[in-house]
């Protein structure tokens, strides 16, 4: 596949990193995103159980970052015991942390395929190298998505006067990846080159990734933005206040169906009803060519507590969780939803923008479909 060489990485200049592997260290450090936006807390992850906990409890979250931490989790497990049995056990434990983001399974399989043929002595070092490579490539992929997305934003901006109003959902930012973010990469590059931009940041109930994380990133990078309640999405589009919607994804099926944070489908419907283009930033590890459509994507359900209670900082600077519903209220908490391909204007990948349909995606990523067909 020489024609599709991995893009040259271009480092994210951000003054923060979601994940760091200090040179030569046998541990990683990650921002504990539960403490954001009010505190930047670095958590040290120095064993596989802690890596699994960090993913399950969402210290770290976002499809690409979950994959990267999963990969390091395997390396940490192999540092402890590099036998076939231990490798298989660690793979199962890490894979079971969260079901929807396909990057986790992709990264775990990649590390396993790289180390399984090796002798036990060589496995741990090889796993650390593979995890580092996954991170480096992720940053390069996101920068390439940024470049292709920037061309799209320039084109839309050229057809209007005033700042370009981009709506996003959840956090598909540098905090969800190893650099640049996916949906945010075009925004950060556009802002850096001086394109007049304004970002609508959807709060993203129930865990508030938009309010807590995306607003924090926009503030840290000086990108003009406005936070709004999720339920206001359709009104903002109907008023003509939104020029384009740009979101991330946790899994895209072979036919272009998109799974992303709960609330994305509603935004896609409102976008279609108001002729607002709806784009999805898709790094290729998030493509699941083994699934013919989105119907097969497992949708995570999380604790009802996340819906019934809300966490924030009080006037004394204390982070507090308070109940917002009467004692004993029954609640349901779907973490993701599915946007059918027919509502997607295009997928912004590291190889360019592609239509959300099987033939187009297959033509752009033939090797992913070949692997799926062999499996
Ligand atoms: O539950 P989360 O916070 O892990 O959900 C994250 C999202 O839905 C993101 O949009 C997606 O993972 C893309 S991150 C580049």
Tens digit of each residue's pLDDT, the chain (375 residues):
344 344 455 789 999 999 999 999 999 999 999 999 999 999 999 999 999 999 999 999 999 999 999 999 999 999 999 999 999 999 999 999 999 999 999 999 999 999 999 999 999 999 999 999 999 999 999 999 999 999 999 999 999 999 999 999 999 999 999 999 999 999 999 999 999 999 999 999 999 999 999 999 999 999 999 999 999 999 999 999 999 999 999 999 999 999 999 999 999 999 999 999 999 999 999 999 999 999 999 999 999 999 999 999 999 999 999 999 999 999 999 999 999 999 999 999 999 999 999 999 999 999 999 878 777
Q: Where are the beta strands (DSSP E) in 79-215?
A: 164-168, 197-202
Q: What is the pLDDT of residue 9?
A: 56
Q: In which element (H, E) is residue 63 found? A: helix 63-80
Query: Which residues have a catalytic role annotated?
Result: 250
Vertex 210 angle, CA 209 and 213, to 5°: 65
Ligand 1 geometric centre to CA of 59 (Å): 13
Which residue, judged by its Cα, is nearest atom 5 of ligand 1?
62
Distance between CA atoms of residues 117 and 234, nearest Å: 53
Where does ligand 1 bind, in terms of residues with CB under 6 Å?
Answer: 61-64, 101, 170, 172, 176-177, 182, 209, 248-250, 260-261, 335
Q: In which element (H, E) is residue 114 found? A: helix 102-115
Six-digit token string for 234: 């359709």
Ligand 1 geometric centre to CA of 7 (Å): 23
214 closest CA partner among 261, 265, 147: 261
Q: What is the pLDDT of residue 372?
A: 80
Q: What is the pLDDT of residue 208?
A: 98
Ligand 1 geometric centre to CA of 209 (Å): 9
* Whether the Cβ atoms of residue 230 and residue 307 lie closer than 8 Å to each other: no
Q: Of ligand 1's atoms, which has the minimum distance to the CA of residue 101?
A: 12
Walk across the sheet containing 251-253 and list its strands.
287-288, 251-253, 258-261, 336-339
Distance between CA atoms of residues 322 and 56, nearest Å: 22
Ligand 1 geometric centre to CA of 205 (Å): 13
Name the residue of 62, 186, 247, 285 to mutate for ligand 1: max ligand atoms within 8 A of Cβ. Answer: 62
Q: What is the pLDDT of residue 297?
A: 98
Name the residue of 55, 211, 250, 300 to mutate for ligand 1: max ligand atoms within 8 A of Cβ. Answer: 250
Distance between CA atoms of residues 274 and 236, nearest Å: 10
Ligand 1 geometric centre to CA of 24 (Å): 29
Q: Of ligand 1's atoms, which has the minimum distance to the CA of residue 181?
A: 15
301 closest CA partner among 326, 344, 333, 272: 333
Name the residue of 106, 175, 209 to mutate for ligand 1: max ligand atoms within 8 A of Cβ. Answer: 209
**What does the radius of gyration of the chain's CA atoms come to, in whole angstroms?**
20
* Whether the Cβ atoms of residue 19 and residue 28 lie closer than 8 Å to each other: yes
pTM of whole model > 0.95?
yes
Q: What is the pLDDT of residue 371?
A: 79
Distance between CA atoms of residues 48 and 27, nearest Å: 10
């Amino acid at each position: 596949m020489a024609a599709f060489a991995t893009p040259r990485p271009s480092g994210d200049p951000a003054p923060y990193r979601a994940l760091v592997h200090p040179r030569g260290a046998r541990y990683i450090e990650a921002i504990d995103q539960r403490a954001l936006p009010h505190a930047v807390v670095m958590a040290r992850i120095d064993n596989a159980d802690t890596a699994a906990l960090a993913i399950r409890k969402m210290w770290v979250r976002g499809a690409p970052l979950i994959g990267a931490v999963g990969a390091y989790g395997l390396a940490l497990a192999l540092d402890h015991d590099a036998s076939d049995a231990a490798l298989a056990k660690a793979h199962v434990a890490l894979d079971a942390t969260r079901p929807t983001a396909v990057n986790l399974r992709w990264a775990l399989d990649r590390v396993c395929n790289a180390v399984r043929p090796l002798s036990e002595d060589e496995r741990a070092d090889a796993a650390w190298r593979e995890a580092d490579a996954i991170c480096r490539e992720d940053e390069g992929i996101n920068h390439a998505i940024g470049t292709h997305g920037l061309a799209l934003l320039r084109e839309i901006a050229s057809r209007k006067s005033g700042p370009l109003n981009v709506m996003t959902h959840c956090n598909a930012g540098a905090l969800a990846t190893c650099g640049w973010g996916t949906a945010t990469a075009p925004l950060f590059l556009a802002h850096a080159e001086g394109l007049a931009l304004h970002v609508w940041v959807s709060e993203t109930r129930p865990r508030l990734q938009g309010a807590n994380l995306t607003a924090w990133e926009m503030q840290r990078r000086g990108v003009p933005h406005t936070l709004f309640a999720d339920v206001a999405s359709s009104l903002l589009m109907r008023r003509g206040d939104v020029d384009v919607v740009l979101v991330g994804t946790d899994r895209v099926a072979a036919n272009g169906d998109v799974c992303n944070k709960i609330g994305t489908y509603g935004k896609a419907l409102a976008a279609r009803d108001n002729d607002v283009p709806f784009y999805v930033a898709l790094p290729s590890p998030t493509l699941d060519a083994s699934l013919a459509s989105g119907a097969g994507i497992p949708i995570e359900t999380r604790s009802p507590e996340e819906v019934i209670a809300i966490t924030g900082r009080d006037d004394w600077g204390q982070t507090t969780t308070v109940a917002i519903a009467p004692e004993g209220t029954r609640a349901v908490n779907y973490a993701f939803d599915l946007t059918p391909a027919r509502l997607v204007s295009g997928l912004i990948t590291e190889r360019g923008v592609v239509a959300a349909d099987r033939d187009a995606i297959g033509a752009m990523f033939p090797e992913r479909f070949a692997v799926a067909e062999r499996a």
